[in-house]
Amino acid sequence: MESLRLAARKSGRSEIRIKDVVIGGSAVVLIGGPCAVESAEQMQRAAQTVRQAGGRILRGGVYKPRTSPYSFQGLGVEGLRYLADAAAAEELLTVTEVLDEESLRSVSGQVDIIQIGARNMQNYQLLKLAGRLDTPVILKRGLAATVEEWLLAAEYILAGGNARVILCERGIRTFEPSTRNTLDLSAVAVAQELCHLPVIVDPSHAAGRRELVPALAKAAVAGGADGLLIEMHPNPAEAKSDGAQSLTPEEFLRLAGEVETLARAVGRSVQPVARVRT
């Protein structure tokens, strides 16, 4: 792909360093947390579970792109504080989604990583703004985007001067209705073949229901994903967003153990440092 001036893989693949976390290295990085930040206590409990599981990054949306305007839209800046405080207490990094210039400004300097979601993958103005930042970006694949379009979206951010882009496959729309989206593991392999950037997988938004998340997560690691982004809620039945696909803390811990075994089987580790409290 000629137009991938900066994203094209020439030889090796890139490792992206964010504080003491490396994505794209030998370790598979685990990112977990609720779809949406709802309260300080919810985030504290989520952070404790992520740390216990050996995860390094806490997720939580404060600006939510919801299908219905009547659904919970996120806590905004108030939620940023809950996310940051909970992560700091457990020595985790943070990631949250931005939707537009205003939300980008408001999270600037408050989180370690910003997420550009599937619905905004082709918001070229937002990609340009993210390119000017010094903050790493998780760029999700659009619901109906080809791998080429996804990589060109990453190219926008790189072209702006921000080299720290992490690609995230989260399922695409197909004719198959039994899952929310169809997890496209081929895209992970293709993206890694064409592009040097790390590629992580979000099995939660692909599956749409928690029962399927472990199988998809494990398949992703077996297939070479550099990390997993998984929704987990202290009490999924009461989640204000994506409860059906959110793992319970117990399920998240069990899955993390399985992922660790699997990572070793494919010549990787889960974390460079043991994070479990003694």
Surface-to-core class of residue 13, CB atoms within 10 Å of its CB (0-12 exposed, 13-18 middle, 19+ buried): middle
> Of Mn ion, ligand PEP, none, which one does residue 118 interact with (CB within 5 to 8 Å by kind)?
ligand PEP
Strands 16-18 vs 21-23: parallel, antiparallel or unpaired: antiparallel
For residues 65 and 36, the answer to whether their CB atoms sit within 8 Å is: no
Element housing 124 (H / E) = helix 124-131
Q: Answer yes or no whether residue 95 interacts with Mn ion by CB under 5 A.
A: no
Of 218, 205, 262, nearest in space to 35 by CA: 205
The 23-62 contact track toward ligand PEP, x by CB under 6 A, reads ------------x-------------------------x-
In eight-state DSSP terms, residue 119 is G
242 binds Mn ion (CB under 5 A): yes
Task: Tell me how far, at minimum, the Cβ of 61 lies from ligand PEP, in Å.
Answer: 5
242 or 260: whose CB is closer to Mn ion?
A: 242
118 binds ligand PEP (CB under 6 A): yes
Does 170 participate in binding ligand PEP (rule CB under 6 A)?
A: yes
By CB under 5 A, name the one of 16, 18, 35, 87 that touches Mn ion: 35
201 near ligand PEP, judged by CB under 6 A: no
Closer to ligand PEP at the Cβ: 35 or 217? 35
Q: Yes or no: say if 184 and 207 are a contact pair by the CB < 8 Å rule.
A: no
Residue type, 273: V
Distance in Å, CB of 205 to ligand PEP, minimum: 4
Which tokens is 170 given?
A: 């989260």
Give the binding-site size for ligand PEP (rule: CB under 6 A).
Answer: 10
CB 97 within 8 A of CB 117: yes
Q: How far is CA 275 from CA 56, 80, 82, 263, 269, in A?
A: 8, 24, 21, 16, 13
Stretch that binds ligand PEP, among 116-124, 151-159, 187-195, 258-266 (CB under 6 A): 116-124
Encoded one letter per residue, x for contact with ligand PEP by CB under 6 A and - for no contact, window 126-155 reads: --------------x---------------
CA angle, corner 40, sides to 38 and 41, nearest 5?
A: 95
Separation CA 41–CA 199 (nearest Å): 31
CB of 115 to Mn ion, least distance (A): 10
Q: 66 is in the binding site of which of Mn ion, ligand PEP, none (Cβ under 5 to 8 A by kind)?
A: none
- Helices 249-265 and 213-222 pack at an angle, to 10 degrees, of 20
Sites of contact with ligand PEP (CB under 6 A): 35, 61, 65, 117-119, 140, 170, 202, 205
Sites of contact with Mn ion (CB under 5 A): 35, 242
